[in-house]
Amino acid sequence: MFSTIKRQNQTSNENDIEIKEISDALFIENEKLIVHYDKPLGTGVCSAVYRGFLSGLAPLAKLSSLVETQKFRDCEVAVKHALHFGEHEVEQLLREIEAMRILEYDRNIISMLGWRMINDKPAIVFELAQEDLLRYVKMQKLKDRKEIPFKTIISILWQIAKGMEFIASKNIVHRDLAARNVLLTNDFQAKISDFGLAVINNPDIKETTLVKKFPIRWMSIEAIAEKLFSEKSDIWAFGVLMFEVFSLGQDPYVGIETRQILRFLRSGERLSRPELATNEMYEMMRRCWEESLETRPKFEKLVAKLHDVLEGESGYSKYYEELELSQEQEGSGPFNANNSEAIEVLDDDSL
């Protein structure tokens, strides 16, 4: 298995041993994994996800000394199977494996239990979650406003901030934080997923070479213009995720062409307040979108703020009252349908 990766990725000798150790330790024997190809959970451009079953103790549980990981035994799993195995897929695979190895376990991060090769293509095995946050908030459109569970939504945002605080503490920059990449369990535990673009062990990364496709509409000014990524660029993306949530799944910057986004942001313009966000929630978003990195909050501060909001709720009544007041003060903006792509090409011609 490792030799296949090495041929595809042409890894240097100094990296060979470390990558081999990681891949071997997380390897799942063929007889331990059953993939139910008749039970797809989702399909993307580069991969498809299927329901599966893992027999015995997961490699993660063998590697980890944490009690929480020992539950991953004889369990249903999600199997992310690459549709292609080119250079881009190899890079994303190695980034994801390395990030997951460092993170090990956190209740607000999806756990990678192991991986193997299936039909000469990599398959990564994760703990099973029920749906993604983007789909969940879009489903809220079908409800009357008084039925939308704002306390649950704020709890989900608080959990995401906690997970991102943990990720930042490990000097990992996610670089693809969006509602589509947050998974939810049946009891509404939020779990951050998809570390294929993650950068590790450097808190302020400026890359001279960049993978071709990045989520521009979730990226900060310095990430688009200078290819500079840090916790503060993930903070910006968290603000955009909040916009997605309170707009019930609207794409950011609808009506603005990709190449115009940087100019739009540099002029001081920002996403408008979503209809279902209170002034307090929108102010939090605006803080995430400060042009100066120094004035953006850290995840630690967002966790504390969202916890205060969550603890201050009495049912949903207080949130509804604040929402009505916000709309009286500012009015409601139009609700737009989704019409933009989540992932777009990032190159000089786009700017």
Residues assigned a catalytic role: 176
| CA pair distance 280, 226, nearest whole angstrom | 31
Cβ count within 10 A of residue 61: 21
CA distances 334 to 143, 164, 183, 250, 254, Å, are 18, 31, 28, 11, 11
- 35: exposed, middle or buried (Cβ count in 10 Å: 0-12, 13-18, 19+): middle
Query: Which residue type is seen at 71?
Result: K
Cβ atoms 191, 109 nearer than 8 A: yes
Cβ atoms 243, 273 nearer than 8 A: no
Cβ atoms 85, 122 nearer than 8 A: yes
3-state secondary structure labels for all residues of 257-279: CHHHHHHHHHCCCCCCCCCCCCH
- Strand (E) positions, 110-168? 112-118, 121-127, 131-132
Nearest one of 164, 172, 56, 189 to 114, comparing CA atoms? 56
